[in-house]
Structure 1
Amino acid sequence: MIIEERIYRIRNGRMGRYLQLVRDEGLAIQQPILGNLIGYFTTDIGPLSQVIHMWAYSDLNDRARRRQRLASDPRWQEFLPRLSENIEQAENRILVPTDFSPLRHLPVSAGSSEEKML
């Protein structure tokens, strides 16, 4: 199991707009394709104007398949420019939970109606 952590620095004054777009439109496109949203966060202390969201995948191949499916979705292609205009900088990390991490016990969709333990 891997966790993808995406970190965006949002342009000054646009956090509300960004979050509204994600809440009202973006997640409805992303979640059915990417599946396993762990969380969506904003920063309050430390670097400000950041959004961090985390997605779980079975492995890197699962991530690649799901990300490709999202990238080729016409709804996402239409939506992405409106979302991107609010982003100043982007960073992406792949995290691998340790054998004692509580996240290893979350169910991850295996690409069908079955669920697979991490």
Structure 2
Amino acid sequence: MIVEMRQYQLKPRSVPAVEELIGQGMAVRSKYSKLGGLWHTEVGTLNSVVHIWPYDSMAHREKVRAELANEKGWPPKTLEYVVEMKVDFLTAAPFSPPIEPRELGALYEIRTYTYRAGTIPEVIKRWSEKIEPRIKLSPLVGAWFSETGTLSRWVHIWAYRDFAHRESVRQDAVKQGIWPPSTAEFLIKQENMLVAPASFSPLH
């Protein structure tokens, strides 16, 4: 499985309008493939919308996009609000759960790490050894790595009830010695954003 992660940087105060337009188009878009989740930033670069679309393969994605080319109801007319678009194609780690509708909480954390070239297999190994006790504290939405574009990127999304729950989980994980995995020696860069789901997001 692959995931297409799309991030739109929007003009200030335009997130509600963009989410409304995307939501209106979902009945049409969902006939071709399902949305994984859609969020807007609460902490991080503001006025951003992030959405993930799971596909069986790149061939599946291309097939869907070809079919959508003849669809009048998609894409939504959001370009007037968009300042910048970024697209990443990501491959799921072996322990990453399937992307499916779930009620997980009101706050999600999207973390993106850039590792040294060639170290992703070892990162997956070390995460695999630690992930089971960690997901007992809060759900993992997914963990993926890049195989196109900027390589050796590691994206993981976690769900929390709220900001207080996130802080509690992070403290408990460190106190219990179960998290994080020991991959700091490979790290080059870390990025983070806290996001809230749109009303129509299958992950909410």
Whether these two folds match at TM > 0.5 is yes
Q: Which residue of 2 aligns with 1:113?
A: none
Paired with 1:71 and 1:51, the residues of 2 have a C-alpha distance of 23
**Number of aligned positions between the proteins:** 100
Q: Does residue 20 of structure 2 align to residue 28 of structure 1?
A: no
1:6 aligns with 6
- Corresponding residue number in structure 2 for 1:16: 16
- The aligned counterpart of 2:48 is 50
Distance in 1 of aligned mates of 2:13 and 2:88: 26
Which structure 2 segments of 5+ residues have no match? 101-204
Q: CA deviation at 1:13?
A: 2.1
Identity %: 27
AA in 2 matched with 1:40: L
Query: Tell me, which stretches of 5 or more residues in structure 1 are unaligned?
Result: 107-118
Aligned to 2:193: none
Deviations 1:63-96 (A, max 9, x none): 00101211221232xx54x221111110101110
Equivalent residue, structure 2, for 1:110: none
- 1:60-79 → structure 2 map (5 Å cutoff): 60-76=58-74
- Larger relative helix fraction: 1
- Is 1:99 equivalent to 2:97 in the alignment? no
State which structure, 1 or 2, has the greater radius of gyration over its C-alpha atoms: 2
Matched residues in 2 for 1:53 and 1:21: separation?
14
Q: Indicate the SS of the match to 2:45.
A: coil
Letter in 2 for 1:90: M
Matched residue of 2:43: which SS? Answer: coil
Shift of 1:44: 0.8
Provide runs of 4+ in structure 1 moved above 6 Å.
none
> Match of 1:48, SS?
coil
RCO higher in structure (CA 8 A, sep ≥6)? 1
Q: CA RMSD in A?
A: 1.6
